[in-house]
Amino acid sequence: MSAPSSSPSLPTGRSRGRSFRTLGKKTLAVFASVALSFGLLPAIPAWGAETAAEAPAAAMSVDETSDATAEPSNPEAAASTTDAEESADDATPSEGADDTAADEPTATTPDTGTADEGTDTDESGTTDLPADDGTPGVTVDQYFPTDEAATAQLLKELTARFVADGPDGALDGSLVNAAIALNSLGKGEDIDADAIMKSLIKDEKRAKDGLTGGQYGGYIMMLTAAGIDCTAVDLNGTTRNLVQEMEKIVADMEPTPDEAVFMLPVFGNDGYEPTQENTIEDLVGAIWMLQDDDGYIWPSETAETYSIPLTSQALLALIPFVDDKDLAKAFGKGALQDAVDAAAEGLADAQLIDGSWPVDGLALEGDVPSTAYAMTALVAMGADPQTDLKTSNDSTPLGYLTAHADSSLDGYTGLDGDEPVTAATVLMALAANEGFTASHEAFDVYDVRAVERPDENGDEAAEHTGTSATKTIPQSGDELPLTLGATALVGLGSAAVALRLRRKMNEA
């Protein structure tokens, strides 16, 4: 893929869809207002809509209403194709998980006593919370403020699940976010690298056409987080350069955004140098060409809407490259900075009043993985989850994530979808929050820390696992390459966009 010479434009199908949504806003205004008044819609955009009518209407078109239950974009699903029988044999349930009944989200409800001035109380005694910016008069009967004790407990329990000796410690290719989180928390040596390599070999045997570029990228990110040099990995007695193998895929076929968001961090955050010309340019282009005017990333030119998880992953993948001079020549000076800033503003606009994010542009209620992804991305831009991402009724993404966890705060068995993947994504968001809390500045959870991993090249290790770990490579801190050391500075500079918008909304 060669870089375009002009600014990206929307694919034809997407232009029509967005124009139609704009024309349909007035038509939906009456429906949305009535539905919200009677509690038929559980959540509405927290801020960024110009009018109350536009808040729910902007997310969907008239003829797309029936598709509002679209499945979330799940790039990790392509990383592992383990079948149901193997999952049943190998999976270990998390401690405290209740298989007999789903846990209900714990929401804080308003005081039903006498309402203060500026609030209304209906006949049932429910006090209306103050309406959020741009949504006057909307009744909200649930909100999710930050619970610091619950946040700390959830972090502790999820960490214990995914370390090497935990019930879900045998990481497979779908749990990239767990490895990223553990490395960020300083537990890279507790990642089961052997399990990851076994999963890679298993996926290769099942794949008729070999691993996809996204799978390669995910495995490289995981192994690097565990302290493995992916330019010389011993797999079943053969030393392989996984980075070069991944690059060959980029050269042979045009990557999709879903793949590029896993491949680009290999060079931007993990510190590997490309060996083929235009590798990074092609990966950036795969993302950049499918960003719309509002900053969101679309999975393809024929997709019905944008994806919040994909937009979040794209933002994280692009951050290290915003000041790259070669890319500036290809895409235009400041183009990648503008793309990152637009993605941050788009994510900020999409937050719902309960502190969550929907999965895409058609969904009208929050989603746990999407909320974790968006929070992780905005923290990398310098947003404080407890203040900058707090909505007008004091809900935060941290409050939403803890409230929707199981009562034991060790997982999400009560939700649909792949539970370990959801839990791993939440752990990544909590790791980002930990990093921000410790540094009080933009924290990119994708930037890896150095890992002290013992040499496992002995015969005993090879006999036990069939693989062997390689040397420890520099990953962060003083040993971090200059291109990576600048990532935090880039995030700090870009943070002004999202935070400026948030402060303006809070002051309104």
What is the pLDDT at residue 456?
Answer: 53
Dihedral over Cα of 75, 81, 83, 86: its sign? negative
Least confident of 114-123, 136-145, 396-405: 114-123
Write the CA distances from 297 to 213, 354, 421, 474, 485, integer angstroms: 19, 23, 21, 32, 26
Model confidence over 38-81: pLDDT tens digits?
Answer: 444 444 344 333 333 333 333 333 344 334 333 333 445 444 44
Which pTM value belongs to this model?
Answer: 0.71
What is the pLDDT at residue 84?
Answer: 43
Confidence of residue 105 (pLDDT cuts 50, 70, 90): low
Amino acid at 405: A
H or E element: which one contains 465? helix 459-465
What is the pLDDT at residue 76?
Answer: 53
As a whole number of angstroms, the distance between CA 356 and CA 397 comes to 5
Which residues make Cβ contacts (< 8 Å) with residue 315, sequence separation at least 6? 340, 343, 344, 347, 377, 380, 381
C-alpha Rg value of the chain to the nearest Å: 23
Answer yes or no: are the C-beta atoms of 189 and 453 closer than 8 Å: yes
As a whole number of angstroms, the distance between CA 398 and CA 390 comes to 9
The answer on pLDDT for 240 being more than 50 is: yes
What is the pLDDT at residue 277?
Answer: 85
